Structure 1
Amino acid sequence: MSAFPIDYAAVFQALPGAALLLTPEFVIADANEALLRRAGRERRDLIGRLLFDVFPGNPDDPDASGMRNLRASLERVVATGARDSMALQRYDVEAPGRPGTFEERYWSPVNVPVLDADGRVRLIVHRAEEVTEIVRAGAGDTGDRMRMEADLFTRAQDLQEVNERLRRAQVREREVVLALQEAMLPAPRPVGHHRAAVRYRPAVGALNVCGDWYDLADLPGDRTAVAVGDVVGHGLAAACVMGQLRSALSAAARVADGPARALEVLGIYARSVDGAESTTAVQTVIHWSTHTLSYSSAGHPPPALLHPDGTVELLDRATDPPLGARPEHVDRPEAQVAFADGAVLVLYTDGLIERRHEDIDVGLARLAEALARHRGADAETLADALLADLLPPGGATDDAALVIVRL
């Protein structure tokens, strides 16, 4: 939060570049002063009207593609929630006060989404820098002008080809990361005498796949270790760090004296792994014979314990900073809690509950309400219900890992 109150509406109006705010249906919600000056329009002529009604394409020029290209760019932004920078466009503008008379204009547009708390496109910022004078200055006689237009078209085509190659490379990276994560994360299997349900949902967007993980391990003495973790960052690098840390914690849990000690070992190991700083993780151990859970958290959202009566207890009495947050080793805290037959243990990563511009307590309350509502479901059904209730309909902008064990 800024120390100074900021009037963002005034900032928008003062921007030196021409800008529009559009709804996802391409209706003009606002226009700044720079755009009004360059378009020669009054605000009342624009607000509440469809963009392409206010700025139609030139019907007398069959080769005019500016309007079609702009519509395609805006549709991509709505579909992907990602910024879209367009190549240089010729988009003729209807002369103010002279309907049907179009003036030749050139623009360098960019379209940027404004997302809501659930990751859906709420508004689009359309910024268009006019470069008409630059283009005209470089075109003298008719022959020069034709060559200039041909060169601009070629450059636009080249840029579109580069963008397409980049998009394909991003898609390939996403596929590699997802395949790597699938290979490293354990498959669902019985935990002790009980069935566990696990889910992993990658973030939407080509480069948004993160480093979330989960792990389950049977331990000596009728115990079961369950853990989840979240590596900072995205893409292949985060997935590789995830694999190293998941394996290290899984090994430490098998030999360490409790979850706190396992996280201490993981923290020491993480200091030698590039990209492991600030990773969060939580380790729990189910003691089946005594009906108790022991747990410790390294900066991770608290596990949830759903009791048979529908009450939800957040396991937040043993929380410490993320891995590598302290310059020196410090013993981590550990806590225990009792459970009854029929209770449910839920571990998850922050992608399940957190939303932009929303306090984490709101997401935790949403999780608790969903758990209470579906408390009679088996582990698999409960996992699917939580994903349906808690993840945005269009997909989250962060990964979500989920482990459910009915105790």
Structure 2
Amino acid sequence: MAEARGSSIRLRVLDTVTDGALKQLDLDKVLEVLLQRSRELFRVDTVTVLLVDRGGTQLVARATTGLEEEVFQGVRVPIGRGFAGRVAQQREAVQIERVDPSTVVNPLLWEHGLRVLLGVPMIAQGELTGVLHVGSTSARRFTDEEVDALQLIADRLAVAVYVDRTRSERAAAALLQESLLPSRLPSTPGWELAARYVPGAESGVGGDWYDVFELPGERIGLVIGDVVGNGLRAAVVMGRLRSALRAYALEYLDPAQVLGKLDRKASYFETATMATVAYAIIDTATCRMSLAVAGHLPPVLAVPGEPARFVPVPVGPPIGFDLGVSGRRGTGVDLPPGALVALYTDGLVERRGEDLDAGLELLRGTVGPMGPEEACSRVMAAMVGDRPATDDIALVAVRHSA
């Protein structure tokens, strides 16, 4: 009899999770439908889904039936603590037959008279997305078949959450990236500017950025940077670094000092973050560029009558992890009339299976003392052509046109 009942609940759960109609529903409706069906199938009093927060350290009540207060009150459970935290940490089913402060951290569970709980992890693509648990006010023991059946539902929910989160993060990252790139480049007499940004076809929007801004004292600030990683998190970190660098640029005249301050800020507040950055200041009165580089590829300089060359700047360690504690150094170069400088991210010159030096040499041979818009067009045609970029590409060109 028990074996027949176990087989029966598995078949009913399979019918539920393979229902084609679920594909047409958004995440909220999928949660609502599957939680209500789970409550009926397992004959329990509560069914709850808690999702892993962005920081990956807590579970947040996202949907429930029978215990709506959990969602209304924004219940949070640290991963590793209590019943749900234990399910998340161990990534395996957990069943408890005593619900009190010694076994759970959420008082709503024992206040509602729950006597038993069964929880299973929600995992998709190897990533923990949350925990699904059911509870009963009557004493009972969930069978192995019921545990397996609940895991089937958790797996279906995990996929729905993963897809929804991935789609939302990509859209949010794209919007954030677009909002942080300069809507227009400064118009400074005697200096022309152009830029390109292309998100990677494989990685999607990431942490590459460029920035150009006017500074007091007839100066122009140029920034090119690349936060390690991709997606929403990289874009958010990029936005914070961009804003911090702009603030430091108003306070300090030396690009090396600005990168030193940015490194300290990132190392202290942006834990587990690394970025490469090149920051240059062009003094339009003296026609001289001062430059500092943190782990980034050096700019290309093309002066009329001379072969294009990479600016010989000391390359310090990347931003983050207190790697630049020994100090940062910069350099200065003259920009005579007709000179063009191109700053870029590594996505422009790196290709899987191809030599980086070959990519750099191709870039150097393409850049010349031409207009910045023409330079960007030629560089993108030579370096990208008809192949989609696998990584983000940012490119900024500035020419002394006086």
Contact 1:299 1:319 in 2 (8 A): yes
Q: Distance in 2 between matches of 1:194 and 1:219?
A: 16
- RMSD across aligned positions (CA): 3.3
3-state SS, counterpart of residue 330 of structure 1? coil
1:226 matched to 2:195: no
- After superposition, the C-alpha distances for 1:266-314 in whole angstroms (9 at most, x for unaligned) are 1111113335632100111112222221111000010111112252121
Assess, with a 3 A threshold, how the Cα gap between structure 1 residues 268 and 382 changes in structure 2: closer, same or farther. Answer: same
Q: Is the 8 A contact 1:194 1:405 kept in 2?
A: no
Unaligned runs of 5+ in 1: 1-137, 139-146
TM-score by length of 2: 0.57
2:395 corresponds to 1:399: no
State yes or no: 1:382 paired with 2:375: yes
Whole-angstrom CA distance in 2 between matches of 1:155 and 1:388: 48
* Structure 2 unmatched ranges of 5 or more: 1-6, 30-159
Identical aligned residues as a percent = 36
Instruction: Work out whether residues 295 and 334 of structure 1, in 8 Å CA contact, stay in contact via their aligned partners in 2.
Output: yes
Is 2:213 aligned against 1:217?
yes
Indicate whether 1:173 and 2:189 are aligned.
no
C-alpha change, 1:227 and 1:276, in structure 2 (3 Å) is: farther
SS of match in other structure, 1:190: coil
Q: Classify 1:168/1:249 alpha carbon distance in 2 versus 1 (closer, same or farther; 3 Å).
A: same
Shift of 1:363: 1.3
Query: CA separation of 1:178/1:198 partners in 2, compared to 1, >3 Å: closer, same or farther?
Result: farther
* TM superposition shift of 1:168: 6.5
Q: Tell me the distance in 1 between the aligned counterparts of 2:320 and 2:255.
A: 17
- CA–CA distance in structure 2, aligned partners of residues 199 and 257 of structure 1: 24
5 Å-filtered alignment, 1:353-392, equals 353-372=349-368, 375-377=369-371, 379-391=372-384
Distance 1:310 1:276 in 2: 43
In 1, distance between residues paired with 2:25 and 2:361? 47
Task: Map Cα deviations across residues 221-268 of structure 1 (whole Å, 9 max, x no partner).
Answer: 322111111101111111000000011111111221311011011111
What is the Cα deviation at residue 182 of structure 1? 1.2
For 2:260, which of 254, 258, 264 is the aligned residue?
Answer: 264
> Following TM superposition, by how much is the alpha carbon of 1:352 offset from its aligned partner in structure 2, in angstroms?
1.0
Q: Select between 189-198 and 384-393 the one with higher mean Cα deviation.
A: 189-198
**Cα distance per residue 1:75-96 (max 9 Å; x no partner):** xxxxxxxxxxxxxxxxxxxxxx
Other-structure match for 1:300: 296
**Alpha-carbon distance between aligned partners in 2 of 1:160 and 1:356, rounded to the nearest angstrom:** 38
User: 1:243-322 residue pairs with structure 2 within 5 A?
Assistant: 243-274=239-270, 277-309=273-305, 311-322=307-318
Inter-partner Cα distance in structure 2 for 1:160 and 1:357: 41
Is the contact made by 1:200 and 1:399 (CA closer than 8 Å) also made in structure 2? no
Q: Deviations over 1:342-396 (max 9, x none)?
A: 1111111111111123332211111111113xx434x223212222221252321
Q: Structure 1 stretches (4+) deviating beyond 4 angstroms?
A: 153-162, 165-169, 325-328
| Cα distance change on mapping 1:352 and 1:161 into 2, 3 Å | farther
SS in 2 for 1:173: helix
When residues 170 and 205 of structure 1 are mapped into structure 2, their CA distance, relative to the original with a 3 A threshold, is: farther
Query: Which moves more between the two structures, 195-204 or 261-270?
Result: 195-204
**1:171: how far off?**
4.0
Matched, 1:201 2:197: yes
Correspondences of 1:6-405 after superposition (within 5 Å): 154=18, 170-205=166-201, 207-274=203-270, 277-309=273-305, 311-326=307-322, 329-372=325-368, 375-377=369-371, 379-391=372-384, 393-405=386-398
How far off is 1:169 after superposition? Answer: 5.2
Structure 1 residues 225 and 350: CA distance shift in structure 2, 3 A: same
Superposition deviation, residue 186 in structure 1: 1.6
Is the CA contact 2:345–2:394 (under 8 Å) kept in the aligned structure 1? yes
C-alpha distance in 1 between matches for 2:314 and 2:187:
24
- Distance of 1:302 and 1:200 partners within structure 2: 17
TM-score, reference length from structure 1: 0.56
Q: Give me the whole-angstrom Cα distance separating, in 2, the residues matched to 1:303 and 1:203.
A: 20
| Count of aligned residue pairs for this structure pair | 258
SS in 2 for 1:233: strand
